[in-house]
Amino acid sequence: MRRFATPVLLTLAVGMITICIALAAVSAALQHPHLGLRLAIPDAGPGLLIRQSDIPDAEIPAGSRLLAIGSARDPSVPVSGVTLIEEPDTLSDYETMQAFRADQHRLSQVLRDGKVTLHLLLPEGQIEQVSLQPAPRRSLSSLPPVFWVQILTGVFAVGFGGWVWALHPRRLPQLMLLTVGVGLQMAANAAAIYSTRELALPQNYLAWLGGTNQIGAQIFGAGILGLFLCYPRRIAPRWVVLGQLPLVVGWALVNQAGLIHSNAIGFQLPTILILLGAILCTFCQIRATRGDLPARAALWIIGICTGLGTGSFVLTRSLPALLGLPLAFPQGYAFALLGIVYLGFARAVLRHRLFDVERLALHTLFYFTGAALLLLIDAALVLLLSLDQVPALGISLFFVGIFYLPLRDATARALLKRRRKAQPISELVRAADEVAFARDDECRRKRYEKLLALEFGSLSIEPLPEGEAVTLPRITQEGIALLLPAVPPLPAYRLRWRDDGRRLFSPMDLSRAEVICTVLQQLLEGRRAYRTGANDERTRIARDVHDNIAVHLLGALHSPLSSRKDELIRETLADLRRIIEDGDRQPDAELSEILGELRHDLAELLAVTGIALDWPTTPDTGLRLPDPMAHALRSILREAVNNARRHSGCSRVTVRIEPRPEMIRVSIADDGRGIPAEVLRGFRAGVTSNDAPGHGLCNMRARVARLGGTLELSQAPGGGVLIEALLPRADTEVQQRAAE
């Protein structure tokens, strides 16, 4: 059996039971004769006030009064305000309650006799009798909204409590929470039936429903008391927590048996005593949870919801009944207040978002105080100054806006001034900038930890193990810890104990952590982009110096003419200026001019070492090349010819340039000893290190690749090396990217 008792099955079982109980309550409320009248207790005068009549066979004007009802067996049964009393438990003693039940039974018998006679007092003051046939049962549409509020409150309480209990069925807090829900449904369902009756119910119905309501209310209170005895810390033995349940239920049964002559003492007094016991347990829990922030947060949630819900219920229901004062509003809506208590208990037992308790407490305090102040001012203006309700409400809103809202803000600042003050965003960005641009990873890590310590004041800041992945900041351990994701090269961190252990981490801290991680990530990405750009620029300058400046300087070194040396040096300085200042941004140049200058420079360079240059003149096509392509063409030819001069031991270098519509084909060949195997392997492997053989060849390939072309290296047909490059002309987008 145990293996089938999963949380899902337990929750479904409890849910089905509570729904069946609710359906039974609805069915019981419909199993009574129905007149079709909407009655109310008048402020003064005899009988009951008829607000609306839905009787099809008789027109009864609104505002008439029902004085009595009769049948052939019982001609006249008088009715009064006591007939329609919503909560019989508010009657002063047991004898009065018995008399009330007897009158209800007599009226119920009249309704079940068939045809009845209504004794009416019309608004004009005339006495009139109306005969009609009551409907055998009520319709769903005749049930007022307050009925459904009570039914749904009970379903929610047991259903939600059953789910919480099913998660940990052996734990006392979960069991007490379910007990609270069971008591709430018992009391709410019974009250829903008798408090929304049209006129009367049979005596046995009232006795059964009243007893169920009182027993349910006592179970509800006993569950609350038991919950305070065992949660957040157990301050009483298990037998005390469970033993007070039968004690409270036994008291309710004794009261139902009529052994206690005062219903106020038999029912209302135990309710208040249970509340006082819960308050006493709260003080004990405050002492027991000292130093345990999550437990203290759970206690705060329970205390807030208990103060709002149970306190409001007692003030509006139990205390007026004990003092003989009129009730504030219908009982069904008071049950909705108890639903607030239950929701708070469930949240505390589930330990859901305990770190958010400060915001919950402040908002509850401010909104509840504002609402109470508004009602007090409005009531004072209406009762003391006899103002109409609409002007009184307007003046109340004015006073609340002028005086309460500024006072609320000042109170919030006073309550929050003990918090660690967050850094201004400018200071935060400056600190994150220091982290991002630290000289090394160790320095960066220390600065990051210093930033977190200054921002959150955590007692512990420790890197997470590598196996524990965190993608977004999140709060764990019920607010004790805050997890921060890794921001490479910085690791992920766990922060524990906010403000030196005085507070839990809150959603505000979570938002602040998200800001810190986002700012730091953007700064680190900017740093990486800066370093990548700087490295790319260094590579470009090194490539240009290697492929172009070196050739110019070698030409100047070996030139026998001083004028030629000066010219080559001036060209070298111009190239250096262009490389440093303008990069590749130069105007378009004609292909014939580029090739003519290169042929002259390279022939002079080769002639110094006795190497012949075979480079026929290319026909002038008027073709103009964009600067990226012209620069690549110059660099490839200079590097290839210089490599042949330095490494091949050749006697001839052959250069061919073939302009085509879609590309320019460039080939450079020599008749030397050929290319070493390690250089060819490095070229094919894409080695680009400055220390590796074939670095100039890799530079040439990189230049061609930037233009979207290809570069091939092979053995020449007659021996030596053959370099072939294809430079596309049509792909202007690639050339534009190369220029950038």
- Whether 612 and 580 have beta carbons less than 8 Å apart is answered as no
Give pLDDT tens digits for 530-574.
777 777 777 777 766 765 666 666 666 666 666 656 666 766 666
Using the predicted structure, report yes or no on whether residue 24 has a pLDDT greater than 90. yes
> What is the pLDDT at residue 735?
46
- Whether 65 and 169 have beta carbons less than 8 Å apart is answered as no
Burial 525-545 (b: 16+ CB within 10 A, else e): eeeeeeeeeeeeeeebeebbe
Report the amino acid identity of residue 720: G
Least confident range from 22-36, 394-408, 590-604, 693-707: namely: 394-408
38 closest CA partner among 112, 106, 124, 138: 138
> What is the pLDDT at residue 26?
95
Q: How far is CA 118 from the centre of its chain?
A: 60
- Whether 451 and 493 have beta carbons less than 8 Å apart is answered as no
Give pLDDT tens digits for 45-89.
889 998 888 877 778 888 899 999 999 888 889 998 888 888 787
> What is the pLDDT at residue 125?
85
Give the 3-state secondary structure of residue 730: coil
Report the amino acid identity of residue 399: F
> What is the pLDDT at residue 673?
86
Assign 3-class secondary structure to 301-314. Answer: HHHHHHHHHHHHHH
Q: pLDDT-based confidence at 193, cuts 50/70/90?
A: very high
Using the predicted structure, report yes or no on whether residue 109 has a pLDDT greater than 80. yes
> Stretch 484-513: mean pLDDT, rounded?
81
**Structural fold of domain 33-136:** Pdz3 Domain (2.30.42)
> What is the pLDDT at residue 496?
80
**Token digits of residue 399:** 């006073």
> What is the pLDDT at residue 182?
93
State the architecture of 584-739 in CATH terms.
2-Layer Sandwich (3.30)
Residue 710 to residue 704: CA distance in whole angstroms: 6
Give the 3-state secondary structure of residue 493: strand
Residue 224 to residue 348: CA distance in whole angstroms: 13
Using the predicted structure, report yes or no on whether residue 311 has a pLDDT greater than 80. no
> Stretch 139-160: mean pLDDT, rounded?
90
Using the predicted structure, report yes or no on whether residue 611 has a pLDDT greater than 70. yes
> What is the pLDDT at residue 690?
46
- Whether 245 and 195 have beta carbons less than 8 Å apart is answered as no
**Of 318 and 717, which is predicted with more confidence?**
717
Using the predicted structure, report yes or no on whether residue 475 has a pLDDT greater than 50. yes
pTM of the model: 0.58
State the architecture of 144-352 in CATH terms.
Up-down Bundle (1.20)
Handedness of CA 80, 86, 92, 98 (dihedral sign): positive
Give pLDDT tens digits for 197-247.
999 999 888 889 988 988 898 898 898 899 889 888 888 898 888 888 888
Q: Which long-range contacts (CB under 8 A, 24 or more apart) does 423-426 make?
A: 423/454, 423/455, 425/515
Q: Domain residues of the chain, as ranges?
A: 33-136, 144-352, 584-739
Phi/psi at 101 (nearest 5 deg)? -65, -35
> What is the pLDDT at residue 55?
79
349 closest CA partner among 457, 464, 228: 228
> What is the pLDDT at residue 689?
47
Strands 652-659 and 612-614: parallel
Report the amino acid identity of residue 347: R
Share of the chain above pLDDT 90, in %: 11
Equal fold, 33-136 vs 584-739: no
> Stretch 158-162: mean pLDDT, rounded?
88
Give pLDDT tens digits for 291-300.
777 777 777 7
Give pLDDT tens digits for 318-332.
655 555 555 556 767
Q: Output Rg (C-alpha) for the chain, integer angstroms.
A: 46
Share of the chain above pLDDT 70, in %: 75
Give pLDDT tens digits for 338-393.
777 777 777 666 655 544 445 555 555 555 566 556 556 655 665 555 555 556 55
> What is the pLDDT at residue 1?
38
Starting at the earlier edge strand, list the strands of the sheet with 652-659.
Answer: 612-614, 652-659, 663-670, 721-728, 710-715
- Whether 313 and 274 have beta carbons less than 8 Å apart is answered as no
**Of 261 and 224, which is predicted with more confidence?**
224
